[in-house]
Amino acid sequence: MSLSIRLLGTSASRPTIERNVSSLAIQREGETFMFDCGEGTQRQMMRYGVSFALEDIFFTHMHADHVLGVIGLIRTMALQGREERLRLWGPRGSARVLRRAEGLGFERSTFPIEVLEIDPGQRVERKDFAIVGFAVDHRGSASLGYALVESERKGRFNPDRARELGIPEGPLWGQIHRGNPVMLPDGRVIEPSELVGPRRPGRTVVVTGDTRPCPATIEASRDADLLIHEATFGDEEAARAMETGHSTAREAAEVAREAGVRRLLLTHFSARYSRDAVDLEREAKTVFAETVIGKDGMEIELAFES
Ligand SMILES: [Zn+2]
Ligand SMILES: [Zn+2]
């Protein structure tokens, strides 16, 4: 069950030579979900091999550097003759802006576009995971972070013990693994608990979008495998981070430490750190060692812990 994250743009506010504006793709078992779609994202997708067949784009908020790319992306999808629906998800109040994006620059799309607003706490349920919105703290605007939360998995099956008990390999093993007691030809009943370990947690990835450090992020990313947090500024601009509703790298690291995440991936850097983010890296790592400075095109794969 593969799960990976591809950063498509890691610059705040405007593109630089090194970095495009915000977007990232989460790829899970052949399905792609996009989070934010700054200007030029479609070209980043081509460059880094992210499929245009995606069906869902989640927007954290409606600031230009997170949204403008969807206009060109929809246009290209229409030129390609796409017929599958595209869903655009965003926080309260975003539908008006997203519908405008839909109509801009061309007359009629070849495919249906659904625009849906999400409230904090609302879950978009899929078969064995959910994408859950949570309210972040960014300039008073309705802004959401998103957590992709996988369901618990079956416990581990013990084949050696099964052989010891004389259970023939085959469909009975599957039944027991799925949690059903089975009766053997000799009349013995085998309970799943004899052969199957405790259920194992799925993986969690959290995307904050733009935000001040906030309790909702800590709660949503408790024990998460990966927290992707904005880090627009360094320590020297901590006051500016506060004024503009952003975080410093150190503040993002404090959130990661507080939440007990496994890894922290920083993104959304002010242009002044575009070429050289070593200061941000150092400041964050003094607080949280497992910090990675994001780069356009970077891919991170997430394995199961157990
Ligand atoms: Zn931004
Ligand atoms: Zn913003």
Residues 45-102 have pLDDT tens digits of 999 999 999 999 999 999 999 999 999 999 999 999 999 999 999 999 999 999 988 8
CA-CA-CA-CA dihedral for 162, 165, 171, 174, to nearest 10: -40
Cα of 61 from ligand 2 centre, angstroms: 7
Residue 298 token pair: 């970077």
Cα of 244 from ligand 2 centre, angstroms: 9
If you average pLDDT over each of 137-141, 164-168, 193-197, 293-297, which comes out highest?
293-297
- Please name which ligand lies nearest the alpha carbon of 65: 1
Cα of 124 from ligand 2 centre, angstroms: 23
Q: Where does the pLDDT of residue 29 fall: very low under 50, low under 70, confident under 90, or very high at 90 and above?
A: very high
Cα of 91 from ligand 2 centre, angstroms: 13
Looking at residue 305, its pLDDT comes to 80
Q: Read off the pLDDT of each residue in 16-34 and give the average, rounded to a whole number.
A: 97
Q: Where does the pLDDT of residue 106 fall: very low under 50, low under 70, confident under 90, or very high at 90 and above?
A: low
CB of 89 closer than 8 Å to CB of 207: no
- Please name which ligand lies nearest the alpha carbon of 230: 1
Looking at residue 101, its pLDDT comes to 85
- Return phi, psi of residue 130, to 5°: -140, 155
- pLDDT tens digits for 30-39? 999 999 999 9
Q: Where does the pLDDT of residue 252 fall: very low under 50, low under 70, confident under 90, or very high at 90 and above?
A: very high
Cα of 231 from ligand 1 centre, angstroms: 10
Checking if the pLDDT of 108 tops 80, the result is no
Q: Where does the pLDDT of residue 107 fall: very low under 50, low under 70, confident under 90, or very high at 90 and above?
A: low
Q: Read off the pLDDT of each residue in 184-192 and give the average, rounded to a whole number.
A: 90
Helix boundaries (H) for the chain: 41-48, 64-67, 69-79, 94-103, 159-164, 171-177, 215-220, 238-244, 249-259, 278-287
Q: Where does the pLDDT of residue 286 fall: very low under 50, low under 70, confident under 90, or very high at 90 and above?
A: very high
Checking if the pLDDT of 170 tops 80, the result is yes
How many Å apart are CA 120 and CA 133, to the nearest integer? 5
- pLDDT tens digits for 135-154? 999 987 789 999 999 999 99
Q: How far apart are the first and last CA of the chain?
A: 13
Residue 299 token pair: 């891919």
Looking at residue 105, its pLDDT comes to 72
Checking if the pLDDT of 306 tops 80, the result is no
The catalytic site residues sit at 65
| Mean of the per-residue pLDDT values of the chain | 95
Nearest Cα to Cα of residue 243 among 233, 254, 252, 253: 233
- Please name which ligand lies nearest the alpha carbon of 21: 1
- Please name which ligand lies nearest the alpha carbon of 245: 2
Cα of 49 from ligand 1 centre, angstroms: 24
